Chains A and B, each alone.
Chain A
Amino acid sequence: MPAAVIAVLNRMTDDEDADAVLRCQNGDTDAFEVLVDRHQKRMLNVAYRMLGDYDEACDVVQESFLAAWRAIRSFRREARFSTWLYGIVVNHARNRMRKVQALSQRETASIDDPAGPEGEGPGREAPDCGETADERLEKKEIEARVQQCIGTLDAEFREVLVLRDIQGFTYEEIGGMLHLPEGTVKSRLFRARAVLKDCLVRVLGDWP
């Protein structure tokens, strides 16, 4: 038996979504509801950490599920369904992020900001919020700083950081979602971690 066939069979037997996907491909909307139930939370968290906005993230997840339903007949089981599905939400979130960034650039440029737009890339300095670390800083505030620093990353760095360090996907899965080799995923991730650390040092002051 060819290795490719075996790999597909292994993925099918390993994929908990295989049965529901098959029913969806036959037009069963109830089966799709099962998939929504199973993946909506994680998809929302991916989108939320990429966008930093809850409402935008909900909107992106909604559009991603709809896109998945429209395209589910074309799903060929060459990867796990979840990999295919999270690839969709990352793609939608990235597109939304670019729109928001473009809008933000126009607004910032019009508000007399000589420093230019924020979050241009991993090499850029994180914004100086003007606050030193405070032991009385609440957890929510720390999280807000972290999210703020994540927001400074460029999209390609941000998405690998979110998928690996926040959501815990493997390098293989991330490579499958983003259609990137593992080496590229790793190099992007390491770079993203270093930039995020520098940002947090600046934001949180005398830390850790």
Chain B
Amino acid sequence: MTCKEMETRLAGLIDGALDEGERERVEAHLKSCEGCRRALAELEASDALVKRLEVVEPPPWLKTRVMARVREEAQGRQSVLRKLFFPLHIKVPIQALATVLIAVVAWNVYRTGETDFRQAAPPPVVVQEASKAEAPRETATAAEEARKEDGTPSREKKAFAPPATGEGLAEKKAEPARVAAKADAVGAARLPEEAPGKVALSKDEEKPESAGAVARQDTARGLAASEPQRKQKALKAPLGAASGEAAKGEGAPAAAPMLSATLSARPDLDISVRVKDPIGAADRAEEALRKIGARSIERSTREGRVTLTARIRPEDLEALREKLASLGTLGESAAAAPRPGVPFVVRLEIRPE
């Protein structure tokens, strides 16, 4: 056995890793080889140095960092499970429930607010109906004349106002009321004294509140109406309720004044009347307007001036001028020339001299 071959065996000898026979052969060689004995000593010294190497301590943060990352990964596993199942078990039902809830609430709001929505927006169909009601009126001149002779003021302007909406049930009855309004417009022409009373009475039973509202309004306006006239007005009030009189009442929405304001803001003809007593002259002018069959008569007083706005027929303009001329000094300004046969808006401004 050469010294070169002994080298690795000596490395096994130092920790007893050689089997018995090999160990004996190595020990026999060592007795006769100075170089191998020296090599063994160096191996033992080297082994001693290695075994005396300092043991290093782990830094305090090592365990902290390891566990932080381990716990992070452990939570990550749970997060994956949560991502997979959370939407299925909790999130989606909550969203679905919220959607259903919103839908139900919206539906209830719509249902409960449906009548309010209708009240807020005046239906144009009423104006159309009122316009239709005008047509038979043209054919009912005889009845009108009869009413004029009786001194009963016409409340035709009510037909241009939106329907009464202050009463809860008024809207539901609107359509029958419109029909009744038309019937009344025609019926009034045919039966000036009896038939309207009958018809109106039945309606009055349906809408006592509207009648009361009109009665109160008339009182407030200080109209010098006789008892029969008041009765007739009250009886005709349901007509007004259908055609808009109650819109001026306490419970009327803002839509009715809006229509009137539009009428007043665009007169086709302005007539100023200078008088000594504007209030008294305004009463007589309003009466004159009614006599010539003016419609949508509106009256306002401001700083001693009385403004009357009404829609009249062109053929009645001359009669109106004559009457106004008897009250005071006239002045006119026309925005547009009245066309024959087409009603136009005239504004009378009665002011003190």
* A positions within 8 Å CB-CB of B: 27, 29, 32-33, 36-37, 40-41, 44-45, 48-49, 54, 57-58, 61-62, 65-66, 69-70, 142-143, 146-147, 150, 161, 164-166, 171, 186-187, 189-191, 193-194, 196-197, 200-201, 207-208
Q: What residues of B have a CB within 8 angstroms of the CB of A48 in the complex?
A: 56
* B positions within 8 Å CB-CB of A: 7-12, 14-15, 17, 39, 41-43, 45-47, 49-51, 53-59, 62-63, 65-67, 69-71, 73-74, 77
Cα separation A196 to B74 with both chains bound (whole Å):
44
Contacts known (A48-B56, A143-B54); A190 close to B63, Cβ less than 8 A: no
Q: What residues of A have a CB within 8 angstroms of the CB of B39 in the complex?
A: 197
User: Could you tell me if B46 and A196 are in contact, using CB atoms closer than 8 angstroms?
Assistant: yes
User: Could you tell me if B62 and A29 are in contact, using CB atoms closer than 8 angstroms?
Assistant: no
> What are 6 sample pairs from A and B whose C-beta atoms fall under 8 A apart?
A27-B77, A41-B55, A49-B53, A61-B66, A62-B62, A166-B51
Which residue in chain B gives the minimum CB-CB distance to A200? Answer: B46
> Given B10, B53, B62, B69, which contacts A166 in the complex, CB threshold below 8 Å?
B53
User: Could you tell me if B8 and A187 are in contact, using CB atoms closer than 8 angstroms?
Assistant: yes
User: Could you tell me if B73 and A70 are in contact, using CB atoms closer than 8 angstroms?
Assistant: yes
User: Could you tell me if B43 and A197 are in contact, using CB atoms closer than 8 angstroms?
Assistant: yes
User: Could you tell me if B56 and A33 are in contact, using CB atoms closer than 8 angstroms?
Assistant: no
Q: What residues of A have a CB within 8 angstroms of the CB of B8 in the complex?
A: 187, 190-191, 194
Cα separation A161 to B49 with both chains bound (whole Å):
13
User: Could you tell me if A197 and B42 are in contact, using CB atoms closer than 8 angstroms?
Assistant: yes
Which residue in chain B gives the minimum CB-CB distance to A146? Answer: B49
User: Could you tell me if B58 and A58 are in contact, using CB atoms closer than 8 angstroms?
Assistant: yes
Query: 11 additional contacts, CB 8 Å, given A190-B12, A197-B45, A207-B45?
Result: A41-B57, A45-B56, A58-B62, A62-B65, A66-B69, A66-B70, A143-B54, A150-B50, A166-B50, A194-B8, A197-B46
Cα separation A70 to B73 with both chains bound (whole Å):
8
Q: What residues of A have a CB within 8 angstroms of the CB of B65 in the complex?
A: 62
User: Could you tell me if A186 and B46 are in contact, using CB atoms closer than 8 angstroms?
Assistant: no
User: Could you tell me if A29 and B70 are in contact, using CB atoms closer than 8 angstroms?
Assistant: yes
> Given A32, A44, A57, which contacts B67 in the complex, CB threshold below 8 Å?
A32
Q: Distance (Å) between the CB of B9 and the closest chain A CB? A: 7
Q: What residues of A have a CB within 8 angstroms of the CB of B77 in the complex?
A: 27
- Across the A-B interface, give the 10 residue pairs with the lowest CB-CB distance, nearest first: A208-B45, A190-B11, A193-B11, A197-B46, A190-B8, A65-B66, A44-B58, A40-B58, A69-B70, A165-B50
User: Could you tell me if A200 and B49 are in contact, using CB atoms closer than 8 angstroms?
Assistant: yes
User: Could you tell me if A186 and B12 are in contact, using CB atoms closer than 8 angstroms?
Assistant: yes
Which residue in chain B gives the minimum CB-CB distance to A165? Answer: B50
> Given A29, A41, A142, A146, which contacts B71 in the complex, CB threshold below 8 Å?
A29
Cα separation A27 to B81 with both chains bound (whole Å):
14
Q: What residues of B have a CB within 8 angstroms of the CB of A32 in the complex?
A: 67, 70
Cα separation A66 to B66 with both chains bound (whole Å):
7
> Given A142, A164, A186, A189, which contacts B49 in the complex, CB threshold below 8 Å?
A142
Q: What residues of B have a CB within 8 angstroms of the CB of A142 in the complex?
A: 49
Q: What residues of B have a CB within 8 angstroms of the CB of A200 in the complex?
A: 42, 45-46, 49
Contacts known (A45-B56, A166-B51); A33 close to B45, Cβ less than 8 A: no
Q: What residues of A have a CB within 8 angstroms of the CB of B69 in the complex?
A: 62, 66
User: Could you tell me if B67 and A36 are in contact, using CB atoms closer than 8 angstroms?
Assistant: yes
Cα separation A187 to B70 with both chains bound (whole Å):
38
Contacts known (A29-B67, A66-B66, A190-B9); A161 close to B57, Cβ less than 8 A: no
User: Could you tell me if A40 and B62 are in contact, using CB atoms closer than 8 angstroms?
Assistant: yes
User: Could you tell me if B11 and A33 are in contact, using CB atoms closer than 8 angstroms?
Assistant: no
User: Could you tell me if A33 and B67 are in contact, using CB atoms closer than 8 angstroms?
Assistant: yes
Which residue in chain B gives the minimum CB-CB distance to A182? Answer: B17
Q: Distance (Å) between the CB of A168 and the closest chain B CB? A: 8
Q: What residues of A have a CB within 8 angstroms of the CB of B51 in the complex?
A: 165-166
